Structure formats: structure tokens, C-alpha cells
Amino acid sequence: MGRRLGAVVFGAVLAGVWAPVGDAEPMVRVLGEQVIEHDLDFRGTVVGGLSGIDYRPGSDDFVLISDDRSEKSPARVYTARIPLGDTGVGAVEFTGTVPLRRADGSMYPPKSVDPEDIRVDPLTGDYFWTQEGERAGVLADPSVRVARSDGSLVAELPIPENERMLPDSGPRQNQALEAATFAAGGALFVTALEGPLLGDGPEATPTSGATTRITVQARFGPLLAQYPYPLEPVFTDSRPEPGRASNGVTAILAVDPVDPTRFLVLERAFAEGAGNRVRVFEIDTAGATNILDAPVAGARPVTKRLVADLTDLGVAAVDNIEAMTWGPRLSSGERTLVLVADNNFSARQRSQVIVLAVR
């Protein structure tokens, strides 16, 4: 028997706690927080691994993708409602789910695909979704795929040659196409690699940052540009001794739907024994070097500035935040920014929804 849809562990509202970025706008506060019940059963699927989210203004629905590799349930998309108001955030209510399908109409078999981010095409309503491919064992390229809202496959966009999984080059394992967004009114599709390519230098550490890449292509495929993105160092060493620590891009979002160069980028850092640190930066690709067919060495990176640090905003336990979208505007005039954590289907992690109000 399925459990109730909107089961929530807790809801915390930190309304009124403002955090300025230096002396400049924007101002950001935590509107509220909800946690989805662990292993929630919805229409025969296990809700978890939520790694991408987008908002459909016409329906007031949010569209979410699970990064389940068809191991717990078929690779799938959910729709949900998240009640947002000036004073807080209500319980998440799932309203639908569809499996993603291959070209022949069949569902993806176990371990054949690794979904990560999803965007709703503002012109057609189709789903553009990314998957990371595979380096362990058989090499499989990451990809950008287009599906109808019923999950059926429509097309696959080309990827840059430097993002192909080759024995000694390409993305690192689980650090490929983690983030995506539309820009310029839907004319552009923009993706970001979570971490540096094998040929672009080492990963971020507590003592140094790293460089990953943001790719811009036309909505129907042609590759236009690729820009270097400077990752911050990991916020601390792992504890009690040096070990697992990382930082990477897990979401990208156009600041304004018609703007072709300004984006919000979410960096999620993790250190064993210390937890997560999640920061949102505003970036501008104007003036950055196009490295579509070039190395990162000597290239001018995008500009970036801090917009929000969830630790500084007072979120006590930040989980593995991987998804980000603009939500509806509040009656106060503030924009809502919805963040979602991927719980990795682990009982020790949470499918956490955090909503920020941006003024």
C-alpha cells in the first residue's frame, strides 16, 4: 500500500532573516524548508534521488527528475506542487510521474542511463534532460536528450568532442552533465560539467579551486561556445583525517529568461565528517574566452559573485543540493528560488526542499 503523498518530516520557516551580498543587491532570505518522506511510494515508484527541478508557470507545477539508474524504479520524471507564500512553504504534493523512454519506446534497463537535470522547453513544453554517461567499465558518453511530457524520446543534442568518454580524456566519473538551463528566451540551451575534464587539471581541494566548463548551444543542437568556470576550493578538510572532499557545479539557471549571458550557478561542496556547503553565485559569460576547441590554460574565465551561502543564511543542516529553479513571484515582489537535495536513496540523507526569497 502506498504511503500518503505529501509526507513531510518537518517544515522550518526562517522568514525575515535577510543576508545581503556585501553592500549590494540582491538580498536573500530563507522562505522555508520541507523534507519529503524517505522512500515515499508514489504510484508504484520510490521517490528519491531528486537531482533536477524546473517550474511550469502555466500549470503551477514543478517538474523533477530522479537520478535513479532504473534500479529502484524505471528512470522517471515527476510533477509536484509546492505551495509557496509570503510567510512560508507548504508540504510537497506529487501529482504525476512518467517513465523516460528510449527511441523504440521501451523503458531504460537498469544501469543504462544516469539522469541528472531537467528543463521544460519554454516554447514547446518538451523536457530537455541530461545524463552523465559512464566511465567505470564500458565507456558511455554523457548526453542531452529531449522527451515529450509523456516521456517519449524526441531527439538527442550533440555534445562537444571534449565531453566524450574516452580512455584518457573526457569527463571524470560522475562529474559530467550535471546542470542545464534554457537562456535567451529558449533560443539557447546551456549545460555545465560538475567537475574539470581529465585534461583540464585536478579537482578542487581544500587548498585550491579547479576549472570546469559551461557549454552554450542552439536549442536545436549547434554548439556555439564553451567557457571556463572557476570552482571554489572545498570549504574544509575531511574529518577526522584527510579523505573524501569535493566541490562541483550541480545546477545552472538563467538569471532572466531572455538574458543570454547571466546565470546563477550552484556549487555544492562536501567534506567527509563535516557535511555539505552550498553556495549560489551569479556569473556572466560576457568577456570570457571561448574554449570550445581549446584548453583552459590561459583562458579568461567567467566573472562570478556570491549571491547566497546557505550556511550563512542559517540553514542548520544543508544536504546534497543538486537542483535549482525559479518559482512563482511572491506578492511582496520577491522571486522564489527553489533548491532540492538528492538523497542518494540513503536513509542517512534527506530529499530536502529549501526555498529562498530573493529581493
Collect contacts of 258-261 with beta carbons under 8 A, ≥24 apart: 258/184, 258/185, 259/183, 259/184, 260/183, 260/184, 260/187, 260/188, 260/216, 261/285, 261/286
| 3-state DSSP assignment of residue 81 | strand
The pLDDT assigned to 313 comes to 96
The yes-or-no verdict on residue 254 having pLDDT over 50 is: yes
Phi first, then psi, for residue 120 (nearest 5°) are -90, 125
Domain parsing of the chain, residue ranges:
28-358
Burial of 205 (0-12, 13-18, 19+ CB in 10 A): middle
| The listed CATH number (2.30.30, 3.30.70, 1.20.1340, 2.115.10) that belongs to domain 28-358 | 2.115.10
Whole-number Å distance between alpha carbons of 267 and 248 = 5
Q: Are 142 and 159 contacting, i.e. CB atoms less than 8 angstroms apart?
A: yes
Whole-number Å distance between alpha carbons of 133 and 156 = 14
Whole-number Å distance between alpha carbons of 343 and 276 = 12
| Residue 25 pLDDT grade (very low, low, confident, very high; cuts 50, 70, 90) | low
pTM of the predicted protein model = 0.93
Q: Are 131 and 177 contacting, i.e. CB atoms less than 8 angstroms apart?
A: yes
The pLDDT assigned to 8 comes to 31
| Residue 144 pLDDT grade (very low, low, confident, very high; cuts 50, 70, 90) | very high
Residues 27, 28, 29, 34, Cα dihedral to 10°: 160
The pLDDT assigned to 26 comes to 61
